[in-house]
């Protein structure tokens, strides 16, 4: 009886590890040793290293502050329940219950999951004054924040879909 229980626990742990590795590979993170949905340690990785391991579109957006064209990203009008993570490092960023329909063409949220999940930086590029939102773990560009969102925060975190990974609830 005791050995059966131990065997069941070992199989369960092995399966969950294999399943996590499958998800990592399925989401395109197979070659990214820094990607983790649980590690919160700050990363100090050079852009040269990121360029070797990230898909080109993600690299240009996340590391060179590019922006997707509006209404083209996979999450701009998504409504499934779950959690959004940084596509570069796996840091937990937003919950779907903070997502709202916006006419801007990018996924929009009124708040991040926690005050330490994102950081802010002044952005005076493109002849505009904006506030850039970056991942607190890896420093990757996610998008910008504006003061025209819904209650309770009245903020609109306007994010690039390519910079986000989504995991539905129940996984």
Q: pLDDT per residue over 97-136, tens digit each?
A: 999 998 899 999 999 999 899 999 999 888 889 999 999 9
| DSSP 8-state assignment for residue 22 | H
Q: What is the mean pLDDT of residues 42-70?
A: 95
CATH topology for 34-168? 2.170.150
Percentage above 70 pLDDT, the chain: 83
Q: Which of 8-22, 57-71, 89-103, 107-121 has the lowest mean pLDDT?
A: 8-22
**Could you check whether the bond before residue 40 is cis, i.e. omega within 30 degrees of 0?**
no
Domain boundaries defined on the chain: 1-30, 34-168
| Confidence (pLDDT) at 29 | 79
Residue 86 known to be catalytic: no
pLDDT in tens, 78-87: 999 999 999 9
| Confidence (pLDDT) at 44 | 95
Residue 134 CA from chain centroid, whole number: 10
Q: In the sheet where 164-168 sits, what is the strand order?
A: 92-95, 82-86, 164-168
* Three-state DSSP state, 96: helix
**Which residue is catalytic, options 86, 135, 138, 158?**
158
DSSP 29-66: -TT-TT--SS--PPP---HHHHHHHS-HHHHHHHHH--
pLDDT reading at 148 higher than 90: yes
């Amino acid at each position: 009886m005791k050995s059966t229980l131990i065997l069941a626990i070992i199989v369960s742990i092995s399966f969950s590890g294999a399943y996590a590795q499958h998800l990592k590979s399925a989401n395109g993170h197979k070659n990214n040793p820094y990607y983790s949905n649980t590690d919160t340690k700050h990363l100090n990785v050079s852009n040269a290293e990121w360029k070797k391991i990230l898909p080109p579109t993600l690299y240009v957006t996340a590391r060179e502050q590019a922006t997707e064209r509006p209404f083209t990203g996979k999450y701009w009008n998504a409504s499934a329940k779950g959690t959004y993570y940084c596509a570069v490092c796996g840091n937990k960023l937003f919950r779907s219950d903070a997502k709202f329909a916006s006419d801007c063409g990018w996924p929009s949220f009124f708040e991040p999951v926690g005050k330490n999940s994102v950081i802010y930086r002044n952005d005076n590029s493109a002849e505009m004054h904006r506030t850039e939102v970056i991942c607190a773990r890896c420093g990757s560009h996610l998008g910008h924040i504006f003061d025209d969102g819904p209650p309770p925060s009245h903020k609109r975190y306007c994010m690039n879909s390519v910079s986000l990974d989504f995991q539905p609830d129940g996984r």
